[in-house]
Amino acid sequence: MGIQSIKIVTNHLYFGLIERDEEVYQTLEIHKDGAVYFESRLFGDSFKYEEIMEEVGREITLKIDEDIVEDIFKTINDVIMWSIFDFQMTDIGDWKLYIVHDDKTLEYGGPLCGLGLVDFDLSAYISERIPIDNLKLFGTDYDEDDEL
């Protein structure tokens, strides 16, 4: 029983000037067995909304230790339990979190400004444990030189 996988989808479209080669969409999946899948989409050349994000930026598949996965799952579960998602912000993008259990999938979401009133940088925490550069996740650009 328990969490089988999590999926974090970050939509970084915002009001303002966006570069053609800028990553505006990221998907990160972490599975119980340690499999990690990442894909990003670029803004691209089109000015038609339905054609934005068709160009794939990065695709990464890797494996992390199952103990690290268990720690990430537990931490996400703990942080989400204490987070508040009843606020909206516009023009900054958003994130969706899907937690897949054996018998159900829970969905959470919010604007790209963190996790409400929780004083914990979950983006940095996950980024330190998964070797993929420039993860946006819940609204922060994590740099490995940053302190938690």
Q: Which of 33-42, 86-95, 101-110, 138-147 has the highest mean pLDDT?
A: 33-42
Question: Using one digit for the tens of pLDDT, what is the confidence trace for 44-100?
Answer: 665 555 555 667 789 999 999 999 999 999 998 888 776 655 555 555 678 889 999
Angle ∠(100,103,106) on CA atoms, nearest 5: 40
Mean pLDDT, range 129-138, rounded to an integer:
89
What does the alpha-carbon distance between residue 90 and residue 71 come to, in Å, rounded to a whole number? 32
Residue 33: partners with Cβ closer than 8 Å, 6 or more residues away: 66, 69
pTM listed for this prediction: 0.80
